[in-house]
Structure 1
C-alpha cells in the first residue's frame, strides 16, 4: 500500500443561507496539488476529472468498515465514543452491533439504490458510511432525502415521512456532499452501477437518489466544518487514501450539478 501524502485541510468559504452556490475556496487546491487535473474545468469535464482523481482509492471489506467508522466518526470530546450522524448522540465505540440501542453502519447513499449491497466498492466506501443508532438507521431505511416530515423518535432534530428523510441541520451539508461524492466516484465503470442524484423521492432500486435540488441547497446552507474536514483527512490518511472533493471544494457541486 502506498504511503499517502498528507493534505492540509482547506476551507475559507463565504456562504449565504438559502443560496444554491458558494463562494470559491480561498485556496485554489491543496498544497500537494491533489486536484491539479481538475483545476479550471467545469461541468461534465470537471466531474470526469474528479472521478479519475478519486477512483484510485484503497478498497475496504465490510468488516474493515467498522474500524474506519470508529476512527472517522470519533467524538473529539471523548475518543472512546463516536458521534451518530442523524441523532447527534455520542455513543461508545464498543456499542456497535444489531441491537436496537446499539449503533451500526448507515449507508447514506442507500445500498438498495443501485442494488450494490455491502459488496466491496460502493457498499464499503467510508465516504458515505456513518455511525447511526440501529433504530434510527431502520427508520431512515432507503428513503430519499428531502425537507419535511415528523421528528424521528430517537433523533428528534431529524424528520421523516413516508418517502423521504431530512437529517438534522448540522449535517445537512455533510449528507449532500456524501451523495455527490458517490455519484462522481461510481459512474458505471469497474463493474459498479452508475449512481446519479435526481430530483425525485421515489427512486426505489434505481441507481438514483434525490432530491437533488434540496441537496444542493443543503450544501450551500451547511458548509464543511472542522469535524467534516477532519473526517475527510482521516479517510485519506488512514484508510482509503482518497478524498471527498466536495468537502475541499463545495463550490464544485453547483459547477457539476447546478
Structure 2
C-alpha cells in the first residue's frame, strides 16, 4: 500500500454551520405509530420522518461528517475500513478527503459513500435531492473500498474476489435469491447498514416503487412495491443483520447528530422493534415488565417506563375511591376510553393528571401496560400491578 502523507493537525472551528440545539426526539415523536403493524406502521413512520426533514446541500455533507462520524480520537469513523480497536489506517477530517477521480489502493483518502447507490434512484450522474445528501445513508468511507463496492447490493460473500484491509468482501452473493456480485461489510456494522436500508424504503416510500427499474442491482433486492419494498430473500438478510448486530451507542449518537442537522430521525435506531412489526412476525407478546417508581403528587401520577425487550405502546391508569380491589382488571381486545376514572397515556410520557377530584378524599390508582390498540389491545394483568393511593389536596 502506498504510504499516506503525514500532515500537521489542523485546528477546526466548530460548527462549520449553524445547528439547532436538540438531540433526542421530542416526547410523543412516534405517537401516531402506536399500535400499528405492517404496511400501516411503515406508512405512519414515513409520514413522521418526512416532517421536519430539511435537506442539506451535498457540499455540506463534508462538514456534517465532523459531527456525525467522528471517533473519540477525533478521526473519521469509516465503516468500510474500520476494525474496532485496531483499524489498519485512519483519516483526518478535511485534509484527507477527496472529491474526484479514482485512487489506486486503500489508505489514500476518504469520500462520500452513498450506501444506497445513486444509480438505484436515478441516473448516477445526477444529484437527485433529497436522497443525494440524506445523511442517513451517506457515510464517509475509504475511496478505494467505495470504488470496489461499486453499486453492488449488500450481501453474503462466501468466496470473495477481493477483501479489504478490514475484511469487507466483494464477490458473488452466496445465499439464495440473488447470484450476482455483492458487497459484505464486517459483522460489526451489518446492523448499521440494515437499519439504513429500512430507513430508505420508509423515508422514500412514495418513490421506492419506481426504483426497481433504475438499475439491475436495485432490481436484485427490490420488489417494485412500496410495501414490503424488498424481496423476501433480502428482508430475511436485513432482519438477520439487524438482530445479530443490535443498535450501538455509535448509531444512537449519529442518529441524534443527523437529527440536529436535517431535522428527522431513523426510527429503526430509536425503536428497533419496528423492524419486526413491519417486516417480521408482526404482533409480539404483552410487555414483559410493569412500570417502576409509580407514585403520586396530589392529582399528578408519575412513573418510570417499563423496560425489557418487549416495550408497551401505552398505559391504562384506572382510579377508584372504594379501594384497590374495586379497580376492574381490563380485558384484552376491549380498549377503555378516557373518562373521569380512566386515562390512556402513550409510552414515553411517564405522567398523567386526573382533574376534578374532591379535597381530602383518598383516591386509589392502578396502572396497566398494554400493546397495540383497538380490538388487538393486549393488557399486562399478571404479576403485581403497580398501585398507589393519595389524598387529594
Shorter-chain TM-score category?
A: 0.7 to 0.9
Which residue does 1:249 correspond to in 2? 271
Q: Which has the higher contact order (CA 8 A, sep 6+)?
A: 1
Larger gyration radius, structure 1 or structure 2: 2
> In the alignment, does 2:167 pair up with 1:157?
yes
Aligned positions of 1:53-132 closer than 5 A? 53-56=48-51, 57-76=53-72, 78-79=73-74, 81-88=75-82, 89=87, 90-94=90-94, 95-97=96-98, 98=100, 100=103, 101-115=108-122, 117=124, 118-132=127-141
Given that 2:211 and 2:218 are in contact with CA atoms closer than 8 Å, whether structure 1 keeps it comes out as no
Query: What is the CA-CA distance between 1:116 and the residue it aligns to?
Result: 6.0
Distance 1:116 1:50, change over 3 A: farther
SS in 2 for 1:83: coil
Q: Give the structure-1-normalised TM-score.
A: 0.79
Given that 1:42 and 1:256 are in contact with CA atoms closer than 8 Å, whether structure 2 keeps it comes out as yes
Aligned equivalent of 2:37, options 35, 42, 51: 42
Aligned equivalent of 2:47, options 33, 37, 52: 52
Query: What is the CA-CA distance between 1:250 and the residue it aligns to?
Result: 1.3
Aligned equivalent of 1:224, options 247, 254, 263: 247
Distance 1:42 1:84, change over 3 A: same
SS in 2 for 1:164: strand
Query: What is the CA-CA distance between 1:220 and the residue it aligns to?
Result: 0.5
Q: Which runs of 5+ in 1 are unaligned?
A: 8-29
Aligned positions of 1:173-188 closer than 5 A? 173-188=191-206
Query: Deviation digits for residues 130-175 of structure 1, max 9, x if unmatched?
Result: 1110000011111011112427443342112041111111100000
Which residue does 2:225 correspond to in 1? none
CA RMSD of aligned residues (A): 2.5
Which residue does 2:365 correspond to in 1? none
Taking the aligned partners of 2:188 and 2:153, their CA distance within structure 1 comes to: 18
- How many pairs align? 226
Distance 1:136 1:31, change over 3 A: same
Taking the aligned partners of 1:45 and 1:196, their CA distance within structure 2 comes to: 21
Which residue does 2:23 correspond to in 1? 6
Query: What is the CA-CA distance between 1:66 and the residue it aligns to?
Result: 1.2
Taking the aligned partners of 1:116 and 1:167, their CA distance within structure 2 comes to: 25
Report which of the two has the higher share of helix: 1
SS in 1 for 2:91: strand
Q: Which runs of 5+ in 2 are unaligned?
A: 1-17, 173-180, 223-229, 281-393
Tell which deviates more after alignment, 138-147 or 153-162.
Answer: 153-162
Query: What is the CA-CA distance between 1:234 and the residue it aligns to?
Result: 0.4
